[in-house]
Structure 1
Amino acid sequence: MADTCSSVKQLVKELIDSDDVVIFSKTTCPFCIAAKKVFDDLHQVYTAVELNKRDDGDTIQTILEQITGARTVPRVFVRGECLGGCSDIKELYASGKLVEILKAK
């Protein structure tokens, strides 16, 4: 089991590093849908990792909890940094800070 966990941890790290914006999500979650809509409205390309479509989704969610302190989805990462979940993204968007974060390279 430890081997599986460390390989999934490595996979999560690779997924987070794979794109500027990575959203760990579930296709049926209204909060995930709302968070992705914010990025869609900004015409911001992102990678969505749909945990309910993956055999290792539960393990990934547990690893995200270890990394971020929260097990809930969505978990949104911008350039490797977790910005939080749906309410965090909506708050950043409303304040204009999300656009600043996305523009900063």
Structure 2
Amino acid sequence: MNFLRQIFSSTSPEAMSAAKAKAQSIIEENAVAVFSKSYCPYCKASKNLLDDLGAKYFLIELDQVDDGAAIQSVLADISGQRTVPNIYIGQKHIGGNSDLQAKKGELKALLKEVGAV
């Protein structure tokens, strides 16, 4: 836990502001946005479901970008959810993998509604 505090407390206010602007821009500019980590099995399950439905989505792997930790931190402020995957459809926070899987029946229609299929 101390390790995590060091990471987040060492992030400057400017970097956090830039990360918040980046996260909000990704959410606003994409019909579907998935904030993920490449090694996360829940993220993989979400991406597989979206892929199976032929969804077009913006994907950012937070473990593969320099500002990933800061973006993940500001997502907690934006959505109240810190964990990944953190999924938005039509600029609305869907939640994580279990939330996405629970919407499986209505997902195709929702994706069509926002122009993501």
Report the counterpart of residue 84 of structure 1 in structure 2: 95
**CA–CA separation in structure 1 for the residues paired with 2:29 and 2:63:** 20
Match of 1:67 among 78, 88, 105: 78
**CA–CA separation in structure 2 for the residues paired with 1:4 and 1:58:** 11
1:97 maps to 2:106: yes
Larger radius of gyration: 2
Stretches (4+) displaced over 6 A = none
Give the TM-score taking structure 1 as reference length. 0.92
Report the counterpart of residue 18 of structure 1 in structure 2: 29
Report the counterpart of residue 42 of structure 1 in structure 2: 53
Tell me how large the CA RMSD over aligned residues is. 1.0
**CA–CA separation in structure 2 for the residues paired with 1:17 and 1:101:** 17
Unaligned ranges ≥5, structure 1: none
Q: Percent identity?
A: 37
Aligned residues: 103
Contact 2:19 2:71 in 1 (8 A): yes
1:5 maps to 2:38: no
**CA–CA separation in structure 2 for the residues paired with 1:65 and 1:17:** 17
Unaligned ranges ≥5, structure 2: 1-11
SS at match of 2:60: strand
**1:66-90 deviation digits (Å, cap 9, x = unpaired):** 1111110000111211100000000
